[in-house]
Amino acid sequence: MITSEDKKYLMNTYSRYPITLVEGKGTKVWDDKGNVYLDFVAGIAVNSLGHCHPALVDAIKNQSEKLIHCSNLYWNENQIQLAKIIAENSFGDRVFFANSGAEANEGAIKLARKYASLKYGDKRYKVISAKNSFHGRTFGALTATGQEKYHKGFGPLLSGFKYVPFNDIDALYEAIDDEVCAIMLEVVQGEGGIHEATPEYIKAAREICDENDILFIIDEVQTGIGRTGKLFGYEHYGITPDIMTLAKGLGGGFPIGAIVAKEDKAVFQPGDHASTFGGSPLACAAGIAVMNEITKEGFLDSVAQKGEYFRRKLKNLKEKYSVIKEVRGKGLMIGCEMDMEEAPDIVTKAMEKGLLINCISHNVLRFVPPLTVTEEEIDTALIILEDVLCEMGF
Ligand SMILES: *Cc1c(COP(=O)(O)O)cnc(C)c1O
């Protein structure tokens, strides 16, 4: 049990639910009182293989007995191997490893500015991002994040950023001038409430970038690594970005982030960018294990199928409960917009019944279970959700 005495040691950055998790296996987690939960939060789309998947545990165990960390002053084989796996399975040619989504996005912004400055000089530095986006909490990523609530109290932010309404093609065209070096977008806005980009929008962004030699950065921190039923979210749109960033699901719970770029956009030279911990043998061993599982024959198809199944069942619930306003998402990245003030209460009540979900933008229930979740587990989650709605009188 965590007491108020314990709480005084941590900064008060999170409003936490009053449970303490101690163990996990697959989609299940246990708290310190022995209660079991179905985990449809999965570390916020991080535990892609579920908790303590044997392939991931073995990879971490074995590597930790060989070499945990070495400096990027030297080569390490795991880093090369993971970069190769990512490159061979994506549009990308070159990879830089970081430790988190924010760090990957910082690096992507630096890379875009460097590319533009090499070709066009220092007058080309602006980054366009979308309103309601989320790119992380460090200053570059925070500035790129098009939501005022995250900016408040932290000014001055970086200069050279511009926000456009999401899915508005005209606004994107209007925002372009010869000072723009990059457009940065999520293909499904995660923290912003599970909003999908329209195919036309992503195609238009690609076209604008091609016409003006602007770099298209896709933030795949949440949508990447199989989350949407394809290995990367951009694959749904028939285009490729110039740069993408990865993190959340890549290490299956072990911290790792990455910047992936096309050869001619990967202009960093020695000294331009670095990360002490980035791409350690241990982190990359975790990444390799995750990528090997996710690229196995049939894995991604099953993610897409389970996502379909889940959304179909949620839409059935929507027929019965008018408080469910909309069901959105791709693959196993699903949002359920609720037409009620008490949406956050659903989270607490579901937790009491053994289901972990979370609520974003006040009224959207987010479901991002492990990609290894079973249909039976999805059924159980839906029964709990319906129970909660009934109990609340809907
Ligand atoms: C979570 C997230 C980030 C930030 O990742 P951190 O690892 O928390 O820094 C950035 N972009 C997107 C789209 C995210 O979902």
**Tens digit of each residue's pLDDT (9 = 90 or more) over 76-106:** 999 999 999 999 999 999 999 999 999 999 9
Q: How far is the CA of 147 from the centre of ligand 1 (A)?
A: 14
**Which of helix, strand or coil describes residue 29?**
strand
- Residue 352 dihedral angles phi and psi, to the nearest 5°: -65, -25
Q: Is the CB of 219 under 6 A from ligand 1?
A: yes
Q: Is 191 in the pocket of ligand 1 (CB under 6 A)?
A: yes
Sequence ranges of the domains in the chain: 2-52+298-391, 55-294
Q: State in Å: Cα 261 to ligand 1 middle.
A: 18
Query: Quick count: other Cβ atoms within 10 Å of Cβ 183?
Result: 28
Determine the atom of ligand 1 nearest the C-alpha atom of 133.
Answer: 13
Pick the atom of ligand 1 nearest to 100's CA. Answer: 7
**CATH 3.40.640.10 holds for 55-294:** yes
**Residue-wise pLDDT tens digits, 319-360:** 999 999 999 999 999 999 999 999 999 999 999 999 999 999
Q: Is 137 a known ligand-binding residue?
A: yes
CATH of 2-52+298-391, one of 1.10.357.10, 1.20.1260.10, 3.90.1300.10, 3.90.1150.10: 3.90.1150.10
| Most ligand 1 atoms within 8 A of CB, residue of 222, 244, 254, 358 to mutate | 222
Cβ neighbours around 393 below 10 Å, total: 6
Residue showing tokens 């974003």: 360
What is the pLDDT averaged over residues 216-227?
Answer: 98
Strand partners, 337: 326, 364
Residue 130 assigned ligand-binding role: no
How high is the pLDDT of residue 3?
A: 84
DSSP 8-state code for residue 10: S
Q: CA–CA distance from 108 to each of 75, 217, 268, 297 (Å)?
A: 22, 7, 10, 31
> 386: CA distance to ligand 1 center in Å?
30
The answer to whether the bond into 156 is cis (omega within 30° of 0) is yes
* Token pair recorded at residue 353: 């019944």
Judge whether residue 6 has pLDDT over 90: no
